[in-house]
């Protein structure tokens, strides 16, 4: 079906308006928690905003701030971030068949994939199938860009205001991030494998933290994930659950 040139722009704007949603509101609130964490860790407002705009994945941002605060080495930081963001790969793979049109150029897919993170993915997987094929790329571009801009502004505003907030409110805002990660990742899990891995990673962290506070996430992730995968594989081979 031929697309009139004006309509891509209209779908882009519609996508941008799509940021008014419950998942976006929760993400924005969690971003306040991130801004507070960055401020407590001695990171400048500019750098916190740059993290939101350029990394665009809250777990990576939180891990990066933690690594800076703990004085982790460059290698340990890269390893932790690489491991925690690997879940973006299957998310991109799952989104592509829904997102792409018949003739969508590859560079557009590379550009758009840069914005795939939990919230954008959840909304896109729910909304895109309702749209005509040719509208999906411009809609997602508008939505993703608006989401990044809004969250970057939120990081700046929250960073500036959080110092003046009552202690209790600031603590409540910090607490949004772990609650958001727990519920949204449990919801995004495809199988029991991820659910068991979540419990294992959580349970292992205190021991790993006592061992080495700069590599604790990497240890808990690799040991907890590998053990869960091993048990899951054993169970599948025996033809159990």
Partner 1 sequence: MPGYSLIDAPWWHLAFVILAGALPTHIWRWLGVAFGTRLDEDSETMRWVRAVATALVAAVVARLVLYPQGMLAEVPALLRLVALLGGFAAYLTLGRKVIVGVLVGEALLLAAMLWTLP
Question: Which residues in 98-127 contact partner 1 (CB under 8 A)?
Answer: 106, 109-110, 113-114, 116
Nearest approach in angstroms of CB 207 to partner 1 is 11
16 vs 197 by CB, closer to partner 1: 197
* Interaction residues for partner 1, span 65-104 (CB under 8 A): 66-69, 71-78, 80-94, 96-97
Non-local CB neighbours of 138 within 8 Å, separated by 6+ positions: 8, 9, 11, 12, 15
The pattern of x and - marking residues 142 through 181 that bind partner 1 according to CB under 8 A reads -------------------------xx-xxx-xxxxxxxx
Q: Are the C-beta atoms of 61 and 27 separated by less than 8 Å?
A: no
Taking CB under 8 A as the binding criterion, the range among 4-12, 18-26, 132-140, 149-157 that sits at the site for partner 1 is 18-26
Around Cβ 200, how many Cβ atoms within 10 Å? 20
Region of 214 on the Ramachandran plot (φ > 0 left; ψ -120 to 50 alpha; else beta): alpha
Query: Contacts with partner 1: how many residues (CB under 8 A)?
Result: 108
Q: Which two tokens stand for residue 97?
A: 């068949």
Residue 59 as a binder of partner 1 (CB under 8 A): the answer is yes
Chosen residue from 19, 32, 35, 51 binding partner 1 by CB under 8 A: 51
SS3 102: coil
19 binds partner 1 (CB under 8 A): no
How large is the C-alpha radius of gyration of the chain? 20
Among 16, 32, 148, 220, binds partner 1 (CB under 8 A): 220
Q: Are 62 and 31 in contact (CB under 8 A)?
A: no
């Amino acid at each position: 079906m031929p697309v009139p040139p004006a309509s891509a722009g209209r779908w882009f704007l519609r996508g941008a308006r799509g940021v008014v949603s419950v998942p976006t509101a929760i993400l924005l609130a969690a971003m306040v928690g991130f801004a507070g964490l960055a401020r407590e860790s001695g990171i400048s407002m500019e750098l916190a905003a740059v993290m939101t705009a350029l990394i665009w994945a809250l777990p990576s941002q939180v891990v990066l701030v933690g690594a800076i605060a703990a004085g982790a080495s460059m290698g340990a930081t890269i390893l932790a971030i690489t491991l925690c963001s690997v879940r973006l790969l299957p998310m991109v793979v799952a989104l592509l068949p829904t997102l792409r049109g018949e003739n969508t150029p590859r560079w557009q897919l590379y550009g758009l994939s840069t914005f795939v993170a939990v919230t954008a993915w959840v909304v896109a997987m729910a909304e895109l199938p309702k749209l005509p094929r040719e509208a999906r790329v411009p809609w997602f571009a508008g939505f993703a860009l608006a989401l990044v801009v809004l969250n970057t502004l939120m990081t700046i505003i929250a960073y500036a205001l959080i110092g003046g907030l009552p202690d209790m409110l600031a603590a409540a805002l910090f607490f949004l991030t772990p609650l958001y990660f727990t519920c949204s990742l449990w919801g995004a899990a495809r199988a029991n494998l991820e659910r068991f891995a979540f419990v294992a990673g959580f349970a292992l962290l205190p021991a790993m933290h006592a061992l080495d506070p700069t590599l604790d996430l990497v240890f808990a992730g690799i040991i907890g994930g590998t053990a869960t995968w091993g048990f899951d594989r054993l169970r599948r081979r025996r033809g159990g659950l």
